[in-house]
Copies of this chain bind each other. A is one copy, B any other.
Amino acid sequence: MHDALLQHIEKFISLEPSEIDTLESCLQLSKVKKKEHVLQEGQTCNTLYFIVKGCMRQYIINSKGTEQTLQFGIENWWITDYLSYHNHTPSHFYIQAVENCEVIAIEKPTLESIFIEIPKLERYFRVVSQKSFGAAQMRIKFLFTMSAEERYHHINNLFPEFVQRVPQYMLASYLDFSAEFMSKIRAGKV
């Protein structure tokens, strides 16, 4: 069963029972252990990951050797490096499980054959990726317009459970400030 993905797809398009069967026959759930990588910098990314359960992140290692998280993904999100995926170029990113995860990993050839059998899935992926792009633009807006403290309070108001869910230093880098500064914001020392 891949209820989570099917339900997500059916938010955007409706599937015939036969199409659901087709999909189920192509997909399989797999587990990714906490800290395990599904993509390393330099590898070509050939797979999309749908997160059924857990939390993953995309990150880089900067020139000082520090990890910086660019993106988190939780339940019902896709995570991948689309640029590497489409251009067959080495990825600039690591993708790693933050928690023990259950994911549906779809390889490019599998997905292409699914698109041939169920062309309307193109629509699902179109809408999802357009929304993701829109979200990325909002993220850039927040990074540009808010101070470090405002960014912390903003995310803490919107997603308080999520702020508890991931290590502080990962969240700090995602918000583009240092882990030490985050500690001071939380302590009210700033």
Q: Which residues of A contact B (CB under 8 A)?
A: 58, 60, 62-63, 68, 70-71, 81-87, 92-93, 115, 119-120, 122-123, 125-127, 129-141, 143-145, 173, 176
Contact = CB atoms under 8 A, between A and B. Distances in A.
Contact of A92 (B83, B138, B143): B138
A72 to B, nearest CB: 12
A26 to B, nearest CB: 18
B86 A145 contact: no
Q: Which of A126, A134, A138, A140 has the most CB of B within 10 A?
A: A134
B119 A120 contact: yes
A143 B137 CA distance: 13
> For chain A, what secondary structure do more than half of its interface residues adopt (helix, strand, loop), or is it mixed?
helix
B127 A86 contact: yes
29 contacts: A60-B145, A81-B134, A81-B137, A82-B130, A82-B134, A82-B137, A83-B131, A83-B134, A83-B135, A83-B137, A83-B138, A84-B134, A85-B130, A85-B134, A86-B130, A92-B141, A119-B119, A119-B123, A122-B122, A123-B126, A129-B133, A132-B133, A133-B133, A133-B136, A136-B136, A140-B140, A140-B143, A143-B176, A144-B173
A114 to B, nearest CB: 13
